[in-house]
Amino acid sequence: MADILKITIPSLIVFLTAYYLLKKFFDGIITLKEIKRASKKSKQSLPLKLQAYERLALYCERIKISNLSLRLNSSDDNAIAMANAMLISIQMEYEHNLAQQIYVSDKLWQIVNLAKIQTIAIITEAKERCNNYDSSDKLMSECEKLLLEFKKDPMDSAISAIKEEVSVMLN
């Protein structure tokens, strides 16, 4: 019996040691594969995220009141028609870029959405200050007056938030 124990105990110790070392080795290989997979996934998703940030920045630029005015202004438009065209353009741009929220933080999406709402409110208020006979220049003048009530154009604030989030993501 003692001879069996002399053989069994060292064999058991060798087996347990080998099992422990092999388990650690294979766990390390699995962890390494998971890291490589995550790195590959990150490399694939980064361009999509950056593209979403770029599209949101472009969206904000396109719906800035000054840019809408340049893009949509027609010399024969009255203030009401111009305001309606601006509001429609904002809604179309929003619908076109709605999917970008998947790739950005909820906080950033809320900032962009709030800037859009504020821009719509400015245009709507300026429209209410005009009548059917006023030119689009009168509408733009009213929009500029209303924008002065803000420290910064709402769209510029949204663009700053986009830049900040991209900076954090890349560093």
Which token pair is 99?
């999917």
Classify residue 18: in a domain, yes or no. Answer: no
pTM, 2 dp: 0.75
The two tokens of residue 49 are 């995220």
- Tell me the H-state helices in the chain: 2-62, 65-72, 79-97, 106-128, 136-147, 154-170
∠ CA 83-109-101, nearest 5°, is 100
Residue 62: inside a domain: yes
Number of domains in the chain: 1
Q: Is residue 86 part of a domain?
A: yes
First vs last Cα of the chain: how many Å apart? 67
Residue 160 lies in a domain: yes
Whether residue 69 is contained in a domain is answered as yes
pLDDT in tens, 62-121: 999 999 999 987 767 799 999 999 999 999 999 999 999 999 999 999 999 999 999 999
User: CA 104, CA 82: separation in Å to the nearest integer?
Assistant: 32
Within a domain: 30: no
For 26-47, the pLDDT digits (tens) are 788 888 877 777 666 666 778 8
Give the DSSP letter of residue 104: S
HEC secondary structure over 31-78: HHHHHHHHHHHHHHHHHHHHHHHHHHHHHHHHCCHHHHHHHHCCCCCE
What is the residue range of 132's domain?
47-170
